[in-house]
Amino acid sequence: MRTFIAIELPEHVRAEVFHKFEKLSEGGLVRGDFVEKENLHLTLKFLGEIDEEKVKEVIKKLGEIKMVKFSCETGKIGFFPSEDYVKVIWIDLISEEVKKLQQEIENKLTEIGIKKDDREFTSHVTLVRVKELKNKDVFHEKIKKLGIKKQKCNVDKFLLIKSELTRQGPVYKTIKEFELR
């Protein structure tokens, strides 16, 4: 099954971000896949396809993580791979604790043979997978004017999630929640 580990965003954060970005889809300036409000999350580790046995091992290892609850806040809007060549639009989630949790997950999973990511972790919430930008200059002006307020949120758990790809988009189902102390 296709799986990943994530932090679920609280409703007030998802609503603020989603409704601001909804405006980008108007007028055909950006064509692409806008992430559904209920699917907005921060991926800590993408595992890809793993079998039931490996899922059990992952659950056991993730259960060994002993971190305390923490808070974070939304930050700036960013682009992958760059501002000049936009394929993904995202917003960052600011907190040193997010990075610590992600590192702890990486370290635990290497113990059961899951390779660490080659790329450095960037704490981000994907908002849009861009297929086409009609006018890059107008797009960047519109992004500057979105006026997303910083949103604080408390993180008291992380999730192991199953992702099923469908024609209508991905369908996420929580396999297991891991509470922070």
Q: For residue 97, give the nearest of 71, 128, 73, 60 by alpha carbon.
A: 71
Structure tokens at 132: 């086409």
Helix or strand or coil: residue 61? helix
The catalytic residues are 41, 124
pTM of the model: 0.92
- Here the CATH number for the domain that contains residue 88 is 3.90.1140.10
Residue 83's CB is within 10 A of a number of other CB atoms, namely 11
Q: Which domain holds residue 100?
A: 2-179
Quote the number of domains for the chain.
Answer: 1
Model pLDDT for residues 120-129, shown as the tens digit of each residue: 999 999 999 9
Model pLDDT for residues 119-174, shown as the tens digit of each residue: 899 999 999 999 999 889 999 998 888 878 888 999 999 999 999 988 888 899 99
E strand residue ranges, 68-168: 70-81, 86-94, 124-133, 152-155, 157-166
CA 120 to each of CA 34, 67, 103, 128, 146: distance values in angstroms, whole numbers, following the listed order: 25, 21, 10, 21, 28
